[in-house]
Amino acid sequence: MTRPPDATPTTMIASRRRFLRRSGIAIAAGSAAPAWLLGGCAPTWQLRTARSTSHDVPRFDLGIASGHPGATRVVLWTRLTGGDLPERVEVNWELAHDEAFQRIAARGVETAEAAWAHSVHAEPSGLEPGRWYWYRFQALGDRSAVGRTRTAPSADARSGGATPLRFAIASCQRYDAGHYAAWRDVAEQKLDLVLFLGDYIYESGSRPDSLRRHEGGAARTLDEYRARYATYKRDPLLQAAHASAPWLTVWDDHEVENDYAGLQGPHFDADFAARRASAYQAYWEHLPFPKSVRPTLGMPGADMRITGRLDWGTLARIHLLDDRQYRAPQACPRPGQGGSNTVARRDCPDLLDPGRSLLGLDQERWLADGWDLRRPWNLVAQQTLMARHSWTDPASETQGTYWTDGWDGYVASRNRLLGGVAERQVPGVVVLGGDVHSHVVADLKADFDRPEAATVATEFCGTSITSHGMPQDRIDAARPFNPHIQLSRSNQRGCMLFTLDAKRLEVSLRVVDEVSDPASAVRTRAEFVVQAGRPGAVAA
């Protein structure tokens, strides 16, 4: 498996220059941008070609991306922009062995259609396993930025178990809550993968005092969801992170509506199925998913399968889960509402109902049947905190107090998952999550009521890119009731970085100094290690 080149991709340099201009930071003619923006690297070719059209319309204003890499394939994404687009546009794409595109590995033509927001999902195949490629698009006289992507190692490649896999997890990037310094940090890390674990957009409108504003109010229609994605994807630092490495993505609730469950919205809206279908379509249109998972056009209640697996050589199997589409509605909601609540277990017997599932029973079986018993690691990419988190003493009369939207609201579902891991002695289970806007490191147990019970898996739940967290003193007050949680910090924004090899997993908790500043420093505030065959994190 080849390592990424040292050069910063041209698209990242161009994106940072555009960001300076948009931020009002002047760059004098002939002068260099600050080193933290350019990474000490000069562009190797012009970002755009001369346009053949008579008017200057940027056609790739939402950037480019890649995702879902296999050993011989990858998905390349873009979406055309401009108000004068025809119904159907031919888009050329190229994939090269080098950034200068002197050695072309694959090329093709995709048709971007208005019905799918002129999005492009090219799927080059027959590629070499375990190597880096560069890609770009061209249409209507305009050429996109260059992105860097890679294939996974082959299933029998020794390098798949010997060369480290470097990846990040991130979630909850509310646009109006802050700037994306965390994404700048990700783009500069030269990672193999980025795992985005939910809340890519926020559907709600912005408050008047927001740092930067969402357009319009709450998104409900297809056009409104498309506009919301466009707002996010025009951010140059997010574009740079997408262009730096392939992504794997799963959604949570805000891609549709806060706290939805299956086909039920929190307010029991009669048109929720149609709203969800519009949201799912916009999600597919704006992210590098293959055509095979495209939702059915114009069908209220249409689904989209995001559940899947990726094998990374002989090193790891990554399981991608969906905890929204198939779940049972939340237990014990507030009167007259659906969605989440915080309840005492004593007052809500449904929390323990074995028939209720966060994943749906079919997805539970799919996961149980797909554990890899040969590779040293099983990484579970899902949306929220899996470890039990009680706000009161579980040994008291309340029997603990729990938030019903997460795994604590579906206790039997969690018990089946972790009990199966313990029973089959599944190696190297590491659960990755987001949603709770906190950096959390936890030991996972098949029986949380017995603190002395063996740890069967390890959890790293990353904080938000920008979205606000709850007061830290509230988190601290609950720590005595959750001895299996080693760290929980809600007052930090950022992501987590991972380096994985056959023997150990190294984790860095990255934290943004000031979320209101796009140029903010990003630092490592804690580090942990997990040894293969020994569940549980140890502070480094």
Q: Name residue 358's amino acid.
A: L
Note the pLDDT tens digit of each residue in 427-456. 999 999 999 999 999 999 999 988 889 999
Residue 408, pLDDT above cutoff 50 = yes
The single residue listed with the structure tokens 């980025």 is 194
Residue 315, pLDDT above cutoff 80 = yes
What is the mean predicted confidence (pLDDT) over 115-138?
Answer: 98
The dihedral through the CA atoms of 123, 124, 130, 133 has a sign that is negative
What is the mean predicted confidence (pLDDT) over 476-480?
Answer: 97
pLDDT for residue 442 = 98
User: What pTM value is reported for the model?
Assistant: 0.91
Contacts of 120 (CB under 8 A, 6+ apart): 76, 77, 78, 79, 80, 91, 93, 110, 112, 137
Calculate the alpha carbon distances from 40 to 46, 105, 188, 223 in Å.
Answer: 17, 28, 11, 40
Q: Percentage of the chain with pLDDT > 70?
A: 89
Note the pLDDT tens digit of each residue in 239-274. 999 999 999 999 999 999 999 999 999 999 999 999
Note the pLDDT tens digit of each residue in 135-148. 999 999 999 999 99
The two structure tokens encoding residue 298: 């114009």
Q: Which residues of 484-513 are buried (b: 16+ CB within 10 A; e: fewer)?
A: bbbbbbbbbbbbbbbbbbbebbbbbbbbbe
pLDDT for residue 35 = 28
Among the listed ranges 8-17, 170-179, 323-332, 434-443, which one has the minimum average pLDDT value? 8-17
What is the mean predicted confidence (pLDDT) over 55-71?
Answer: 93
pLDDT for residue 6 = 40
Band of residue 310 on the pLDDT scale cut at 50, 70, 90: very high
Interior angle at CA 78, CA 260 and CA 153, nearest 5:
90
Band of residue 334 on the pLDDT scale cut at 50, 70, 90: very high
Interior angle at CA 429, CA 427 and CA 431, nearest 5:
175
